[in-house]
Amino acid sequence: MKYLTTIGLEVHVQLKTRSKMFCACAVEYGAGPNAHTCPTCLGLPGALPVMNQHALELTTLTGLMLDCAIAPYCKFDRKNYFYPDMPKNYQISQYDLPICVGGAVPLHDLAYPKDAQKSIATPDKKVGLVRIHLEEDVAKSFHYDTSTGVDFNRAGTPLMEIVTEPEIGSPEEAFAFLSSLRQILLYGGVSDADMEKGQLRCDCNVSVRPEGQAEFGSKIEIKNMNTVSGVRKALAYEVQRQTAELEGGRKLQQETRRWDDASAQTFLMRTKENAHDYRYFPDPDLMPVRTETLVTTARAGMPELPSAKRARFVDQYGVSGYDAAVLADDQDLSAYFEAAAAKAAKPKAIVNWVLNDLLSAVSSAGKGMRECPLPPQALTELVDLIDAGKISGKQGKEVFAEMFGSGKGAATIVKEKGLEQLSDTGTLEALVDQVIAANPKPVADFKAGNPAPLNFLKGQVMKLSKGQANPVVTSEILQRKLTAGEGPGGV
């Protein structure tokens, strides 16, 4: 029997704010334990939360980028449960009036895992969203042999939760969803979305059902995944496990599981009977938020989205769809390309240099695009020199390597190395005349009808010009002079 997979994700995104959600403490990864704490984020008696406006703005911006409806007003609620990483033993979150409702994330081909890009089930799929809301993160626990330490630096940092519709059909689509979402978040400057730093985490809900069955299978939740590839692996494992259970004639129960990366398996955490009753109610310490001005602010800060950028690159610069996608995949790369292409005589010529020579040079230097030592204008200058026939393509590679290493401009290097091609016909004609005069025998041979000496003569011109003669122009002049029989020793 064939089985259908249904996946929904709850993605937690750490917002790029300077201070925490409800206090003025700095948001900084890697500081000493409890370095960034105050009465509010430690949950001391009497301390109160105060809203971080920037977090509201970033969430609104995310909503606009993902085509959500922005609620005219939203409120914050207390979600009650006890755990040592929750200083107040309630989390301030949003229950029934989130900031953003609906929306979608478009999946693009390059966002799929490399090995799955050739077999995309639904090209140009959009995954619908249920909502986006804002809440505070919890502290981090460190378990030792006989004790547990809690670091409250992360406690109270702004966390945006994005909840999808159950519309993801495979682990590969889940992967593509997260990559596509991450790209948009980076575009908006909403989050650094660095999964290693826990800035992007997700809970996965997955169920399988026999084809033809209308209602979804039992929902299994996998908690707290923090790598995109881990999400794919855990989901693939769950799909296979659940399918095997159903095929074995067993029933699945709604439950929460935990992914163990080392053993590549999921383990049961709790069943539905042990689910929390969070007893949500509006936080009386915070006023409801009207979103009108937030929307105005966010709209003014809307970036060009990845899909729009890809389309524009094809239109504006005539690059291929694939190249546009590769460029747009990385904001630094696309910014570099645009800066280089903007003033280039032939922008299309820039793209090959950026995607091949530059990318490999940057990566073999162990750098990111942001640290690229070669300014975009320098690349434009080089490509224009080649385009204009001032230097050959081969010389261009040599100049590029030198530029990348020394940071000198292309023209300077060309001059220093004396690489500039001779294209000036007056000078070249003089050289050609010189060569014809000095080589009567090959000239006579050529005139007798043997074409072979032409290359020899061309080589002599090149030699005389120390390799700088433009080969194309040189050939033209030689041929003209020889066939016309107008050599200096001629009739």
Partner 1 sequence: MDTADLPFLTVTELQRRLRARELTPREVVDTLAARIEAVDPAIHAYLSTDLDQARRDADAADVSLPLGGVPIAIKDVISVAGQPCGCASHILDGYVAPYDATCIARLRAAGAIPFGRLNMDEFAMGSSTENSSKGATLNPWDTTRVPGGSSGGSAASVAARTAFASLGTDTGGSIRQPAALCGVVGLKPSYGRISRYGLVAFASSLDQVGPFTKTVEDAARLLGVMSGLDPHDSTTLDAPVPDYAALLTGDIKGLKLGLPKEYFISGIDPQVEAAVRAAVDHYTKLGAEIVEVSLPHTEYAVAVYYIVATAEASANLARFDGVRYGHRARDTSGLLDFYGKTRAEGFGPEVKRRIILGTYVLSSGYHDAYYLQAQKVRTLIRKDFEDAFQTVDALICPTSPVPAFKLGEHTQNPLAMYLQDIFTIAANLAGVCGVSLPCGFAQVDGKDLPIGLQLLGPSFDEARLLQIAHAYEQTTDWHTRRPS
Q: In the complex, what is the shortest distance from the CB of residue 84 to partner 1, in angstroms, rounded to a whole number?
A: 5
Q: In the complex, what is the shortest distance from the CB of residue 238 to partner 1, in angstroms, rounded to a whole number?
A: 28
Does 87 engage in binding with partner 1 (CB under 8 A)?
A: yes
Q: In the complex, what is the shortest distance from the CB of residue 43 to partner 1, in angstroms, rounded to a whole number?
A: 5
> What is the distance between the alpha carbons of residues 9 and 98, in angstroms, rounded to a whole number?
17
- E strands of 226-382, at which residues? 255-260, 265-271, 281-282, 289-290
Q: In the complex, what is the shortest distance from the CB of residue 96 to partner 1, in angstroms, rounded to a whole number?
A: 11
Q: Judged by CB, which is closer to partner 1: 276, or 415?
A: 276
Q: Judged by CB, which is closer to partner 1: 141, or 363?
A: 141
Identify the three-state secondary structure at position 162: strand
Is the sign of the CA dihedral 376, 378, 382, 388 positive or negative?
A: positive
| φ, ψ at 371 (rounded to 5°) | -100, 10
Q: Judged by CB, which is closer to partner 1: 139, or 382?
A: 139
Structure token pair of residue 121: 């089930």
Give per-residue burial for 228-254: e unless 16+ CB within 10 Å, then b.
bebbbbbbbbbbebbbeebeeeeebee
> What is the distance between the alpha carbons of residues 414 and 180, in angstroms, rounded to a whole number?
42
Identify the three-state secondary structure at position 93: strand
Stretch 238-277: interaction string toward partner 1, x if CB under 8 A: ---------------------------------------x
Q: In the complex, what is the shortest distance from the CB of residue 21 to partner 1, in angstroms, rounded to a whole number?
A: 13
Does 88 engage in binding with partner 1 (CB under 8 A)?
A: yes
The residues facing 141 across adjacent strands are: 150
Exactly one of 31, 50, 438, 472 binds partner 1 (CB under 8 A); that residue is 50
Q: Judged by CB, which is closer to partner 1: 89, or 296?
A: 89
Q: In the complex, what is the shortest distance from the CB of residue 87 to partner 1, in angstroms, rounded to a whole number?
A: 7
Q: Which of 33, 46, 45, 39 minimizes the C-alpha distance to 20?
A: 39
- Choose one: 283-291, 296-304, 351-359, 482-490; the region binding partner 1 (CB under 8 A): 283-291
Judged on CB neighbours under 10 Å (0-12, 13-18, 19+), 279 is exposed
Does 284 engage in binding with partner 1 (CB under 8 A)?
A: yes
Exactly one of 30, 32, 45, 418 binds partner 1 (CB under 8 A); that residue is 45
The residues, ordered by sequence, that sit 6+ positions from 334 with a Cβ below 8 Å of its Cβ are 309, 313, 327, 328
Exactly one of 26, 31, 39, 260 binds partner 1 (CB under 8 A); that residue is 39
Q: Judged by CB, which is closer to partner 1: 135, or 357?
A: 135
> What is the distance between the alpha carbons of residues 409 and 100, in angstroms, rounded to a whole number?
49
The residues, ordered by sequence, that sit 6+ positions from 56 with a Cβ below 8 Å of its Cβ are 99, 134, 289, 291, 294
Does 44 engage in binding with partner 1 (CB under 8 A)?
A: yes
Does 166 engage in binding with partner 1 (CB under 8 A)?
A: no
Does 35 engage in binding with partner 1 (CB under 8 A)?
A: no
Exactly one of 4, 42, 104, 411 binds partner 1 (CB under 8 A); that residue is 42
Exactly one of 15, 90, 103, 175 binds partner 1 (CB under 8 A); that residue is 90
Identify the three-state secondary structure at position 163: strand
Q: Mind giving me the DSSP string for 405-446?
A: HH---HHHHHHHHT---B--HHHHHHHHHHHHHH-HHHHHHH
Instruction: Please measure the distance between the N-terminal and C-terminal CA atoms of the chain and give it in whole angstroms.
Output: 93
Stretch 105-144: interaction string toward partner 1, x if CB under 8 A: ----------------------------------------
Q: Judged by CB, which is closer to partner 1: 79, or 232?
A: 79
Do the Cβ atoms of 54 and 291 come closer than 8 Å?
A: no
- Choose one: 41-49, 313-321, 335-343, 458-466; the region binding partner 1 (CB under 8 A): 41-49
Q: Judged by CB, which is closer to partner 1: 281, or 322?
A: 281
Exactly one of 272, 279, 367, 370 binds partner 1 (CB under 8 A); that residue is 279
Give how many residues touch partner 1 by CB under 8 A. Answer: 29
Exactly one of 73, 142, 267, 281 binds partner 1 (CB under 8 A); that residue is 281
Exactly one of 43, 102, 113, 467 binds partner 1 (CB under 8 A); that residue is 43
The residues, ordered by sequence, that sit 6+ positions from 245 with a Cβ below 8 Å of its Cβ are 251, 252
Q: Which chain residues interact with partner 1 by CB under 8 A?
A: 39, 42-51, 78, 80, 82, 84, 87-90, 150, 277, 279-281, 283-287
